Amino acid sequence: MSSDERPTQHSIRDAAAVTHAGGMRATRAFPTNTHSHLDPFVLFERFHIEPDQGFDTHPHAGFEILTYMLEGGMAHGDSLGYESTPRAGDAMRITAGDGIRHSEFPADDAACSGLQLWVNLPADRKELDPSYAEASSDQLPTEERASATVTTVVGEGSPLDLETPMEYLDVSVTGSESGSDAGSWTWEPPATWVGFCFVVSGSGTVDGDEDGAKLEAGQFVTLEGGDSLTLSTETECRVVAVAGEPHGQEIHQRGPFVA
């Protein structure tokens, strides 16, 4: 399918409010009662952890975790012996493989917020040895475009990679200071990949025209293989755009484990 033939209309979906055991709040795109997994992606949410909260040591297996911090810092420790505190703009990847245990707590007695993505492991890689990697904000390539700033969290130039071919972009689109001219950004993942675009802050118009669907913070759209997306805004809109190659296998999630 050529770019001229790609679909240009997208359904806007609302993420759901979730409260984890211990009171930690999240805005979850999927899985929810209305939105299932999105092969190869198991889960995506924006989390908020207050100073007196946190996730005690708990196990994971069968998938990979990518955490991208938006505000504050999060103290991480795991059964491999790694301890780190990613802060706003930093990212870390955990390949749970055949099993890992870790904890997550806010650093510096201050609240923190970030984005967490779970990516399924292909069936023949479920028994991988667990591993950990991290990248600071200055290690993630950032490109200034006409009306957008694009940071590559996973993809070309990033030191982070996963077992699944994918890209993860942090994109800020801005209009003119007067609001008279809209800024826009077009995303065209590989034709065989599946993805989604989640609004972190601000608002925009999907598909780049006056009749396009409005996209607000906490909402998202999904892209099937061959889709593209144009995001426009007269003010400012920050999104994360995530796409990857499907595995073509069912996702069987049982809490912190993915078979």
Lowest mean pLDDT among 13-22, 86-95, 210-219: 210-219
Q: Which CATH number fits domain 13-258: 2.60.40.1120, 2.60.120.10, 3.30.70.20, 1.10.10.60?
A: 2.60.120.10
Domain ranges of the chain: 13-258
Q: What is the mean pLDDT of residues 129-144?
A: 98
Residues 6+ apart with CB under 8 A from 82: 76, 132
In this prediction, residue 31 carries a pLDDT of 97
Q: For residue 9, name the pLDDT band (cuts at 50, 70, 90).
A: low
What is the distance between the alpha carbons of residues 69 and 148, in angstroms, rounded to a whole number? 20
Q: For residue 70, name the pLDDT band (cuts at 50, 70, 90).
A: very high
Q: Taking a C-beta distance cutoff of 8 angstroms, is the pair 27, 45 a contact?
A: yes
Q: For residue 4, name the pLDDT band (cuts at 50, 70, 90).
A: very low
Residues 6+ apart with CB under 8 A from 107: 72, 73, 74, 75, 85, 87
What is the distance between the alpha carbons of residues 166 and 105, in angstroms, rounded to a whole number? 28
Give per-residue pLDDT as tens, 167-209: 999 999 998 765 567 899 999 999 999 999 999 999 999 885 5
Specify the pTM: 0.93
Q: For residue 243, name the pLDDT band (cuts at 50, 70, 90).
A: very high
Backbone angles phi, psi at 139, to 5 degrees: -90, -15
Q: Taking a C-beta distance cutoff of 8 angstroms, is the pair 133, 159 a contact?
A: yes
